Structure 1
Amino acid sequence: MTDNTDKPLDLASLRQRIDSIDSELLRLISERADCAAQVAQVKTADDPDAVFYRPEREAQVLRRVMERNPGPLNGEEMARLFREIMSACLALEKPIKVAYLGPEGTFTQQAALKHFGHSAISLPMAAIDEVFREVEAGAVNYGVVPVENSTEGVVNNTLDSFMDSGLHISGEVVLRIHHHLLVSNITRQDKISRIYSHPQSFAQCRKWLDAHYPHAERVAVSSNAEAARLVKTEWHSAAIAGDMAAQLYGLDRVAEKIEDRPDNSTRFLIIGNESVPPSGHDKTSIVVAMRNQPGVLHGLLEPFHRHAIDLTRLETRPSRNGVWTYVFFIDFKGHVDDPAVAGVLEAVKQHASDMKVLGSYPVGVL
């Protein structure tokens, strides 16, 4: 590296330059935080119940950061840094309260922090329906729930909760899931005879376990974080869990990334009480009830083909409200405010027994 005179910079000069850049960063971040506080004042003056967090605005900012990032940090890493700055600035206006499927240390908490940043107040719930209830009651601003895993498929409890709820989907998070075999400081690694984990984690690591611990007892528990907690007290056991659980309970990794598929990932949904305006790169989710009769699936899907709308997911569930009635959960690209999407929804209504828009929301950025 050289300065304007093309003379090589020594270590002391480089450190001095870093200190100068850090001072400028500090000034700019403080200026941004002050501006965010002024935004809060303007919003509150116009509306005492103003909404401070805007999912579409956050998505637009993060996309712009990734598009304009000159490097050498990659776009996603730069967006993560901005995510935390935005989270801290938003907390000056009004801290966001987020309920997630707990306990602490789960992948759902990791998804919540990835989406909202570490300045959000995250609250663990014991079950998915409790997350929905907390959001509906207004005790928290948003909830985070898992909806599908690339290996094990959909999370039915989440789909069932949407059938009975009036909440909106306001965002999505896709999280790469890495499982580790964890032990405590009292574990005798040559005597491991019991392994704790969530049933889905066992399924995602089945081949690895068959190859390395074929005779160990596999004990299913309510969460990977609970598995990590149990290992702290047993000398002959291990747990399958992720990074957050390992850090929370102070466990060591015996083996890393033991999932059978390297692309193993889980998609989480952000649920809230408000609908989300278009961000420019959106997705819509709907639930449709249909009678089981010839040609029903063709009638449901034909409008999407006619209006050139891309489907991203289609799931079928038996309806709990009628015999031989099926419920389709459909994700597709676009926003309900788009004319083409509006045309599709109107056509689907004509074939459906019932249809509900679960939400239009920004496609996950991080």
Structure 2
Amino acid sequence: MHDHSSGEQSDGANLEQLRQRIDHIDSELIRLISERAQCAQSVARVKLAEDPEALFYRPEREAQVLKRVMALNPGPLPSEELARLFREMMSACLALEQPIRVAYLGPEGTFTQQAALKHFGDSAVDIPLPAIDEVFREVESGAAHYGVVPVENSTEGVVNNTLDSFMDTSLRICGEVVLRIHHHLLVGENTRRDRISRIYSHAQSLAQCRKWLDAHYPHAERVAVSSNAEAARLVRSEWHSAAIAGDMAARRYELSHLAEKIEDLPDNSTRFLIIGNHDVPPSGEDKTSLVAAMRNQPGALHDLLEPFHRHSIDMTRLESRPSRHGVWNYVFFIDFKGHQDDPLVRAALEEVRLRAAEIRMLGSYPVGVL
């Protein structure tokens, strides 16, 4: 016969010791986080003393901090999870200095809002707007410090409204966010699965789920609306309708999941750009975007691209859009690795300027960390 009482007491004592250890660690964390926040306030005072118009949010500095956190991570938490914790801490500390106002393509619950929160943290003041061009205007006017707009999807390609808006603005790209996109079929409490006759979503989302819809709801009307969140808002008060949207929209409009992850391609993701009024210094791992107008002549595109190849600059995206000046003229949007202040990049850009009819830098900015 075995006496289990001593073992149970030992386990209880060990558990109590672990809890006391956690309490001690929590106390240290609170002290250190408060100390970090006080240090951030001191940084703000120094900046203001040197320059009353100083920028408190520095994209290159945040990228460097997050990359350092991920590099130093000993585990067991995944590096991205640890970086997200630091993102929220930095967001809260920054709000002590100056709350950041961020405009995004709304309404509440869109993937663009999710990208804004991922990049700026929950302490930012977010401003939903109904159209991409309005996000640009909000930042241009100074009503928002930054804006967040979608620029391309891995399945459906570029967002033309965003590219067109860059042709008429002096704003700079200050950062990027890549968001893994999962689409769900959502319904309100009054809708039955076998009675769905209409499905709302953004046009790109409908396209990204085309095969799934053909297989499961081939006879349902597909209605394109301004955003996935708007689709969720409509469905909340309708019968016999469903919405394709994400988890944030489901929570915001209190909808239930009928089906999850219905996107046709499992690696579906969307890239978003952060727009602002200033240039960003090098972070050590950067990307540059520009728009170039070429003369309408044979070999124009080759002449534009050749300097990048010769200087071994890695081009990551090339898109063409019809120019607003002259029939059948085009402008080219180019993304490449490197900062515009890098010597090799600077040399290539000087050659491109000589060959292009016009070139406008859209900005150099840190490669997305999270």
Q: Residues 41 and 260 of structure 1: is their aligned pair in 2 closer, same or farther, counting only changes over 3 Å?
A: same
* Equivalent position of 2:364 in the other structure: 360
Match for 1:20: what amino acid?
A: H
The CA deviation at 1:134 is: 0.9
Paired letter, 1:341: V
Q: Could you tell me which residue of structure 1 aligns to residue 223 of structure 2?
A: 219
Structure 2 residue 287 is matched with structure 1 residue 275: no
| 2:104 is aligned with 1:100 | yes
Residue of structure 1 equivalent to 2:61: 57
The CA deviation at 1:194 is 1.4
Aligned to 2:334: 330
State the Cα distance separating 1:226 from its structure 2 match. 1.1
Aligned mates of 2:199, 2:15 — CA distance in 1: 50
Is contact 1:307-1:344 (8 Å) kept? yes
Pick aligned residue for 1:244 from 248, 268, 284: 248
Partner of 1:135: 139
Question: Is 1:302 the equivalent of 2:306?
Answer: yes
Q: Report the AA paired with residue 47 of structure 1.
A: D
The offset of 1:238, in angstroms, is: 1.0
Match of 1:260 among 251, 259, 264: 264
Structure 2 residue 69 is matched with structure 1 residue 69: no
Paired residue for 2:346? 342
Q: 2:296 & 2:217 partners in 1: Cα distance? A: 46
* TM value normalised by structure 2: 0.95
Question: Are residue 321 (structure 1) and residue 357 (structure 2) matched?
Answer: no
Q: Is the 8 A contact 1:291 1:324 kept in 2?
A: no
Which letter does structure 2 place at the counterpart of 1:285? S
Aligned-partner Cα distance in 2 for 1:232–1:323: 46
How far residue 235 of structure 1 moved from its aligned partner, in angstroms, is: 2.6
**2:22 matched residue in structure 1:** 18
Q: Secondary structure at the match of 2:148?
A: strand
Match of 1:145 in 2: 149
Structure 2 distance, partners of 1:342, 1:224, is 41
Of 67, 80, 90 in structure 1, the residue corresponding to residue 94 of structure 2 is 90
Q: Secondary structure at the match of 1:291?
A: coil
Which of the numbers 52, 60, 65 marks the counterpart of 1:48?
A: 52
1:198 aligns with 2:237: no
- Does the aligned pair in 2 maintain the 1:87–1:116 contact within 8 Å? yes
Deviation at 1:91, TM superposition (A): 0.1
Counterpart of 2:169 (choices 143, 165, 168) is: 165
Contact 1:169 1:271 in 2 (8 A): yes
Q: Which residue of 2 aligns with 1:208?
A: 212
The whole-number CA distance in structure 2 between the counterparts of 1:219 and 1:317 is 27
Query: What letter is aligned with 1:175?
Result: L
Counterpart residue number, 2:3: none
- Work out the CA distance in 2 between the residues paired with 1:129 and 1:216: 32
3-state SS of paired residue (1:140): coil
RMSD of aligned Cα (Å): 1.1
Q: Within 2, Cα distance between the matches of 1:268 and 1:337?
A: 23
What residue in structure 2 maps to residue 179 of structure 1?
Answer: 183
String of CA shifts for 1:298-352, please: whole Å, max 9, x gaps. 1111101111100000001111112332101000000011000001100101110
Secondary structure of residue in 2 paired with 1:49: coil
Deviations 1:198-248 (A, max 9, x none): 111100000111111111111111111111111111231111000110010
Partner Cα separation in structure 1 for residue 141 and residue 209 of structure 2: 38
Q: Verify the 8 A CA contact 1:318 1:327 in the aligned structure 2.
A: yes
Structure 2 Cα separation of the partners of residues 326 and 351 of structure 1:
15
Moved over 6 A (4+): none
The amino acid across from 2:159 in the alignment is V
Structure 1 unaligned blocks of 5 or more? 1-6
The Cα shift of 1:13 comes to 1.7
Q: Counterparts of 1:225 and 1:41 in 2: how far apart (Å)?
A: 40
1:292 Cα deviation from its structure 2 partner: 2.7
Question: Aligned ranges for residues 112-127 of structure 1 at < 5 Å?
Answer: 112-127=116-131
**1:252, distance to aligned residue in structure 2 (A):** 1.0
Query: Which string of whole-angstrom CA distances, capped at 9 and with x for unpartnered residues, describes residues 97-130 of structure 1?
Result: 0000111110001100000000000001111111
Residues 1:289 and 2:290 are matched in the alignment: no
Question: Match for 2:344: what amino acid?
Answer: A
Please report the TM-score for the alignment, with normalisation by the length of structure 1: 0.96
